[in-house]
A and B are shown apart, each in its own frame.
Chain A
Amino acid sequence: MAGVPVKKKTFQDLILTLQSFWASKGCLILQPYDDQMGAGTFHPATTLRALGPRPWRAAYVQPSRRPKDGRYGENPNRLQHYYQFQVIMKPAPADIQDLYLESVRAIGLDPALHDIRFTEDDWESPTLGAWGLGWQVECDGMEISQFTYFQQVGGIDCDPVSAEITYGLERLAMYVQNVEFVYDLAFNEDVRYGEVFHQAEQEFSAFNFEMADTEILFRHFNDAEKQCRELISGNKKLALPAYDQCIKASHVFNLLDARGVISVTERAAYIARVRTLAKACCEAWLATPMGDYKPRIG
C-alpha cells in the first residue's frame, strides 16, 4: 500500500468499513435501537445480552442523545445527538486488543505512524447499575474509543465477561478527515454533516433547554416507571418491553436534567429510580429463555 495515496474516508465510509470489518470477525451487524438513549450500551443487544452464559457477538451504530450537550450548533465538537459504533463480544476474545487495532488500521489510521495508547479509564453507568474496567484508546492524544471489560450489568456479575468497544464516530471522522468543526465533516463525497444535522442541533437544543414541557416529562417519567414495573411484576416476565420503558425513563430524566429542574439531591434519587428499573429488567431477562436462566444449585 505504500506510496498509494489513500482517499480520506467519508463519514459513511467509516461506518461501512467498521461494519464490514466486525462482520468479518463474526459479529452480527444489528441496526440502531428504535428508542432514544444516551449511549450504545443501552441497546438491549448490549445491556441484556451481556448477561447470562450464551455467547454473543454484535456490532451496530447507535444514535446517542445527550440533551445537556446541545450547543445550538455552535460548538465545534459538542452535539446533543451523535453516533456511536458499538461492538460487543461475549466471551471477550483473548486477542480483542489486536482485533481492535486491526479495525483502527482498517479505517485508515496506521499505528506505525501514530501514537496509540490504552490509558486507564474505567467505565461505570450508575443508571444501568453497570461497571467494567478498561481504557480509553488515544491516538496522538485524542480519545478515539472506549474499551471495557464488563464486570457487572444491572448489579449482576457478567459471566463470561464481555468486551465492549465504543467508537465516537464524529470525533473519529474529524480526526481521519482532519476537520476541526464537526459540521464540516464529509458525510459522503457531496454532502456535509452540517447539511444533515445542523438544523436538528439548533432545534433540539432549543427543545432540550427551553421548550420541553417539564410537567409532561415528569408525568412521562412516572408513567414509564409504572409501566416497567407492571410488566415484570409477579409472574409476568415481559423483560424486553419492560426494558424499553426503562430506556424511556432514562431519556426523560436526561431531558429534565437539561431543563435544569432537577436539584443536586433529587438527581441522585432519580438515577437510583432508573437503576432499580434496570436491575429488575436484567433479572427478568435472565429468567427468560434467551437469558438462559438456570436455577442455582443449593
Chain B
Amino acid sequence: MAELLLELLSEEIPSRMQAQAARDLERLVVGALSDRGLLFEGAKSFAGPRRLTLMLSGLPLQQSDVSEEKKGPRVNAPAKAIDGFLRSAGVTLEQCEKRDDGKGEFYLAVIHRKGRATADVLAEVVPECLAKLPWPKSMRWPQPTSTPVRWVRPMHSILCTLDGEVAPIAFAGVMSSNRTAGHRFLSQGEIEVRRFDDYVKKLRDAYVILDPDERKEIILQDVKNRAFALGLELINDPGLLEEVAGLAEWPVPLIGSIDDAYMEVPGEILQTAMRVHQKYFSLRNPKTGTLANRFAVVANMITPDSGKTIVAGNERVLRARLSDAKFFWDQDRKRTLESRVGELGGIVFHAKLGTQLERVERIESLAGEIAEKTGVDVKTARRAARLCKADLTTGVVGEFPELQGVMGHYYALNDGESAEVADAIRDHYKPQGPNDSIPRSKVSIAVALADKLQSLFMFFAIDEKPTGAGDPFALRRSALGTLRIIIDNKLRLDIAKLSGYQAGGDLRDFLIDRLKVHLRDAGIRHDLIDAAAAVVRDCDFLRLVWRIEALQSFLKTDDGANLLTAYRRAVNIVKAEEKKDKTVYDGAPDPEAFVLAQEKTLFVELATASELIRAEVARERFEQAMGVMARLRKHVDAFFDNVTVNDKDLNLRKNRLLLLSRLRSTLHTVADFSKIEG
C-alpha cells in the first residue's frame, strides 16, 4: 500500500477560497480514483496562501486485475456467428470455454484485463480533476502548452509522489516533480520531499505551517497570551481568524497601539475600521468591556528587529485610516439626522418602489399603526422610524456600511433624541440572522417590525418573491425576523389588518412556511401548523402558535390520539357515502329521528361541546377547547361500537351521516384534522 502526495504551488490564493478548494480537490481526486477501482485508507487535504495539498494513504500501486465473462453463441451456431463473436471479444476459439445452460452448450469468452499502474491512472485523472476544480473566480495566464487551463492564479509547480517516487503529472504546462518551495521570504531554494511526514517537517523547517487549523491555533493562542500579558482580552472574531490564517504561511501575531487621539471615537467605528481595512483583531479591557487602545496584527514574517518595523508601519497606516474615520465622525455630527431625511429622496431604493425617502415614509406610517395596536407611544415610534435610515447618508456609514443603525444611534443621542428613539434606530435591523438577538423594547419592536413588514408588503406587491434560486431582498430573513419578534415578545398583532397587506396574496403562506422552519427546532410538527392555520384567516401568529401548541399536547394524550382515529373513521365514512350518493352531508341532524341511545347521547354531547369549543376558542383558551374535545371521545367510541351508520332505513342512515359530519365540523373549529399526518 502506498501514499500519494500532491501539492499545487501557485501565486497567492485568495484566503476566502482556500478551504473550499482543498475540499473540492479531495472530493474530485477521491471520486476519480474510486471510479477506477482505486480505494485507499485515508485522505487529508490542506490549503494555504500559496498551496493546495492532498494526501491519500493506503493506496494500491496497481488496479486489481479484472476478468469478465462474455457469453457467445451456441456451439452449433453458424460459423459466421461464431467468427463475429470471436472478433468482437478479441479471443480465439481455443481460448473460449464451453458451458451448458441446460438448453445446450454455448461458447464463453473469459477476458482478463490487467489492472493499470496507479501512477498511470493518476497521470490521466489528476489533470482532469484540476481542470474541473470549481474556483469562484479563475484566470488565464501565459502557459507553455497548446491547451491552456484556468486556475485561481498562475501555477508555479506541482509536487506529486506515489510511494516516495515522482508520479508524472502535467498541468498548465508544468510537469510534476518531488520539489517545492518554502516561505516566500524566510526560505531559499527548493525542498525535495518523498512522503507526507517528510513534507510536513521540511515545510515547517522552511517556515510554512501546512495545516490551516494549526495556523489558526497558533494565532489564537498567541494573541490571547499577548493580550493577557497586557491585562487585556481578545474580542473573538472567528471570521477574521479564518481570513488571516489564509494570509500567512508562518503567522506571527504582533501587538500595536492605537493613538490616544482616536480613543474618543466610538469603539464600533475603531473596531470596524481595524477589521475591514486592516484585518486587525481588537482587544478589550476584561473588567469594563471597553475597547483597549491596542490591536493585534498577524504578520507573515520574522524580522531581525522582532517585528518592530512592521508594528510601526501598521500603526502609521492605522493612524491614517482612523484619521479618515474620525474626520467623518466629526463631520457627521455637525448635522442632525432630521436634516438628512430629505436627502434620502435622492437615493433610489428600488426602481419600482421609489426612493429611500418613500420607503422611510412607509415605515414611519406602519410603525405608527403597529405602535397603536401594541400600546406604544405612537409619536415616539414614528419619530424613530422617520430617522431610522437617515444615517445612510453619513460619512461613517458610507465608509463602513455594516455600521448602519449603530451610527444612527450615536448621532440620534448627539442630536438630543430620546434614548428610546436612539435604541430603536440601532436595533431596528435586528435580528440580522437566526443567531442574532431580537429587539425587546417596545419602540424598537414597532420600528423593527415596520421595517421588515414594509419590505415584505412591497416586494410581494410587485411580485419580487424569493425563489429557489435566490432571495436578493432577504425576504426570508425579514419574515423569520418578524415571526421571532412577534412570538418571542408575545405580541398580539394581526399583520393582515395593517395597511399595505394584500389579502389573497402569497404572503400569508410564505410566513407560515417560515413559521414551520422556525418551529421545527422547537420540535413542532409542520402538519400541525397546517392543520391549525387552515381554520383561521388572520395573521395573528402568536395566537396561531398557542393553537398549535395546544393541539400538539392534545394529540400526545390517549384521548387525543383516539379522537383523531375516530375522526378519521367518521370522515372516511361520510366521504365514501357522499361520493356514492353524489351529495354533501352537511346540515343539522333531526334530533327526533335517532333510535339508539348512543347516537342520541352523541348528538346531545356534540351540540353542547360545539357551543363550548366555540366559546373557548373565542376566548383563546385552546387547551380548554381541547379538554372539551377530549370528553367527546367516549361518546364517539360508544357510537361506533353500537351504531351501524349504513342502516337500511335511508332516513336513519342520512341522519347518522349528518351526525358524523357534525363531528367533523365541530373538531374543525379548532383545527383541520384532515391535515394531520401519521
Report A's interface with B, CB cutoff 8 A. 76-77, 91-92, 94, 97, 111-120, 122, 132-133, 135, 139-142, 149, 151, 157, 159-161, 175, 178, 180, 263-265
Does A113 lie within 8 Å of B304, measured CB to CB? Answer: yes
Q: Which residue of chain B is the closest to A132 with respect to CB atoms?
A: B139
B258 within 8 A of A: no
Q: Which residue of chain A is the closest to B137 with respect to CB atoms?
A: A133
Interface residues of B in 338-355 (CB under 8 A from A): 346-348
Does B300 lie within 8 Å of A115, measured CB to CB? Answer: yes
B527 within 8 A of A: no
Cα-based distance from A237 to B300 in the complex (angstroms): 51
Does B141 lie within 8 Å of A161, measured CB to CB? Answer: yes
Interface residues of B in 301-339 (CB under 8 A from A): 301, 303-305, 307, 309-310, 312-314, 316-320, 323
- Complex interface bits, B127-161 against A, C-beta within 8 A gives 1, otherwise 0: 00000000001111110000000001110100000
- Complex interface bits, B272-284 against A, C-beta within 8 A gives 1, otherwise 0: 0000001000000
Does A115 lie within 8 Å of B299, measured CB to CB? Answer: yes
Q: Which residue of chain B is the closest to A158 with respect to CB atoms?
A: B140
What's the minimum C-beta distance from B353 to chain A, rounded to whole angstroms?
Answer: 14
Cα-based distance from A151 to B154 in the complex (angstroms): 13
What's the minimum C-beta distance from B347 to chain A, rounded to whole angstroms?
Answer: 6
Given contacts A112-B303, A264-B348, contact A149 B313 (CB under 8 A): no
Cα-based distance from A264 to B355 in the complex (angstroms): 11
CB < 8 Å: which of B138, B141, B320, B346 contacts A263? Answer: B346
CB < 8 Å: which of B12, B142, B310, B346 contacts A115? Answer: B310
Apart from A116-B301, A141-B317, A161-B139, list 18 A-B contacts with CB within 8 A. Answer: A92-B154, A112-B185, A113-B309, A115-B300, A117-B300, A118-B11, A119-B12, A119-B14, A133-B139, A133-B152, A139-B313, A140-B310, A141-B297, A142-B316, A149-B154, A180-B316, A180-B320, A264-B348
Cα-based distance from A50 to B648 in the complex (angstroms): 95
B210 within 8 A of A: no
> Which A residues are in CB contact (< 8 Å) with B140?
149, 151, 157, 159, 161
Does B137 lie within 8 Å of A111, measured CB to CB? Answer: no
Does A120 lie within 8 Å of B15, measured CB to CB? Answer: yes
Does B16 lie within 8 Å of A120, measured CB to CB? Answer: yes
> Which B residues are in CB contact (< 8 Å) with A97?
11
Cα-based distance from A76 to B326 in the complex (angstroms): 13
| CB-based A-B contact count at 8 angstroms | 97
> Which B residues are in CB contact (< 8 Å) with A117?
12, 247, 300
Cα-based distance from A97 to B154 in the complex (angstroms): 10
Cα-based distance from A175 to B140 in the complex (angstroms): 33
Interface centre among A112, A114, A133, A139 (most CB of B within 10 A): A133
Cα-based distance from A76 to B327 in the complex (angstroms): 11
What's the minimum C-beta distance from A6 to chain B, rounded to whole angstroms?
Answer: 14
Does B301 lie within 8 Å of A264, measured CB to CB? Answer: no
What's the minimum C-beta distance from B22 to chain A, rounded to whole angstroms?
Answer: 17
What's the minimum C-beta distance from B9 to chain A, rounded to whole angstroms?
Answer: 12
What's the minimum C-beta distance from B338 to chain A, rounded to whole angstroms?
Answer: 22
CB < 8 Å: which of B12, B156, B309 contacts A140? Answer: B309
> Which A residues are in CB contact (< 8 Å) with B278?
141
Given contacts A94-B154, A263-B346, contact A149 B310 (CB under 8 A): no
Cα-based distance from A20 to B515 in the complex (angstroms): 68
> Which B residues are in CB contact (< 8 Å) with A135?
12
What's the minimum C-beta distance from A137 to chain B, rounded to whole angstroms?
Answer: 10
Q: Which residue of chain A is the closest to B142 with respect to CB atoms?
A: A91
CB < 8 Å: which of A112, A122, A133, A141 contacts B314? Answer: A141
Cα-based distance from A97 to B156 in the complex (angstroms): 11
Cα-based distance from A50 to B312 in the complex (angstroms): 39
Given contacts A149-B139, A160-B142, contact A133 B297 (CB under 8 A): no
Given contacts A115-B301, A117-B300, contact A142 B317 (CB under 8 A): yes
CB < 8 Å: which of B154, B247, B305, B318 contacts A113? Answer: B305
Q: Which residue of chain B is the closest to A120 with respect to CB atoms?
A: B14
Q: Which 3 A-B pairs give the minimum distances between C-beta atoms?
A: A140-B313, A120-B14, A91-B142
Cα-based distance from A122 to B135 in the complex (angstroms): 14
Does A114 lie within 8 Å of B16, measured CB to CB? Answer: no
Cα-based distance from A278 to B156 in the complex (angstroms): 34
Cα-based distance from A117 to B137 in the complex (angstroms): 20
30 pairs, CB–CB < 8 Å, chain A vs chain B? A76-B323, A77-B320, A92-B154, A97-B11, A113-B309, A114-B301, A114-B303, A114-B309, A115-B300, A115-B301, A115-B310, A115-B313, A118-B11, A119-B15, A133-B137, A133-B138, A141-B297, A141-B313, A141-B314, A142-B314, A142-B317, A157-B140, A159-B140, A161-B142, A175-B313, A175-B316, A180-B319, A264-B346, A264-B347, A264-B348
Does A140 lie within 8 Å of B317, measured CB to CB? Answer: yes
- Complex interface bits, B1-25 against A, C-beta within 8 A gives 1, otherwise 0: 0000000000110111000000000
> Which B residues are in CB contact (< 8 Å) with A265?
348
Cα-based distance from A212 to B137 in the complex (angstroms): 41
What's the minimum C-beta distance from B87 to chain A, rounded to whole angstroms?
Answer: 39
Does A116 lie within 8 Å of B185, measured CB to CB? Answer: yes
> Which A residues are in CB contact (< 8 Å) with B304?
112-113
What's the minimum C-beta distance from A95 to chain B, rounded to whole angstroms?
Answer: 9
Does B141 lie within 8 Å of A114, measured CB to CB? Answer: no
Does A92 lie within 8 Å of B141, measured CB to CB? Answer: yes
Cα-based distance from A132 to B139 in the complex (angstroms): 8
> Which B residues are in CB contact (< 8 Å) with A175?
313, 316
Does B185 lie within 8 Å of A111, measured CB to CB? Answer: yes
Cα-based distance from A113 to B312 in the complex (angstroms): 12
CB < 8 Å: which of B138, B307, B320, B347 contacts A76? Answer: B320
Q: Which residue of chain A is the closest to B355 with respect to CB atoms?
A: A264
> Which A residues are in CB contact (< 8 Å) with B14?
119-120
Does B305 lie within 8 Å of A141, measured CB to CB? Answer: no
> Which B residues are in CB contact (< 8 Å) with A120?
12, 14-16
Interface residues of B in 413-444 (CB under 8 A from A): none
Interface residues of B in 282-303 (CB under 8 A from A): 297, 299-301, 303
- Complex interface bits, B242-253 against A, C-beta within 8 A gives 1, otherwise 0: 000001000000
Cα-based distance from A77 to B193 in the complex (angstroms): 48
Cα-based distance from A231 to B12 in the complex (angstroms): 43
Interface centre among B310, B313, B320 (most CB of A within 10 A): B313
Interface centre among B141, B297, B318, B347 (most CB of A within 10 A): B141
Cα-based distance from A117 to B310 in the complex (angstroms): 12
Does A140 lie within 8 Å of B305, measured CB to CB? Answer: no
Does B314 lie within 8 Å of A140, measured CB to CB? Answer: yes
> Which B residues are in CB contact (< 8 Å) with A115?
299-301, 303, 307, 310, 313
Does B313 lie within 8 Å of A114, measured CB to CB? Answer: yes
> Which B residues are in CB contact (< 8 Å) with A180?
316, 319-320
> Which A residues are in CB contact (< 8 Å) with B153?
133, 149
Interface residues of B in 98-143 (CB under 8 A from A): 137-142
Cα-based distance from A164 to B617 in the complex (angstroms): 73
Q: Which residue of chain A is the closest to B301 with respect to CB atoms?
A: A115
> Which A residues are in CB contact (< 8 Å) with B156?
94
Cα-based distance from A293 to B318 in the complex (angstroms): 49
Cα-based distance from A91 to B141 in the complex (angstroms): 8
What's the minimum C-beta distance from A77 to chain B, rounded to whole angstroms?
Answer: 6
Cα-based distance from A231 to B326 in the complex (angstroms): 49
Given contacts A113-B304, A142-B317, contact A149 B141 (CB under 8 A): yes
Cα-based distance from A265 to B142 in the complex (angstroms): 39
Cα-based distance from A141 to B244 in the complex (angstroms): 12
Q: Which residue of chain A is the closest to B15 with respect to CB atoms?
A: A120
> Which A residues are in CB contact (< 8 Å) with B185?
111-112, 116
> Which B residues are in CB contact (< 8 Å) with A161?
139-142
> Which A residues are in CB contact (< 8 Å) with B303?
112-115
> Which A residues are in CB contact (< 8 Å) with B312?
140
> Which A residues are in CB contact (< 8 Å) with B316?
140, 142, 175, 178, 180
Cα-based distance from A94 to B154 in the complex (angstroms): 8
> Which A residues are in CB contact (< 8 Å) with B300?
115, 117
Cα-based distance from A161 to B139 in the complex (angstroms): 9
What's the minimum C-beta distance from B260 to chain A, rounded to whole angstroms?
Answer: 16
> Which B residues are in CB contact (< 8 Å) with A264?
346-348
> Which B residues are in CB contact (< 8 Å) with A113?
303-305, 309
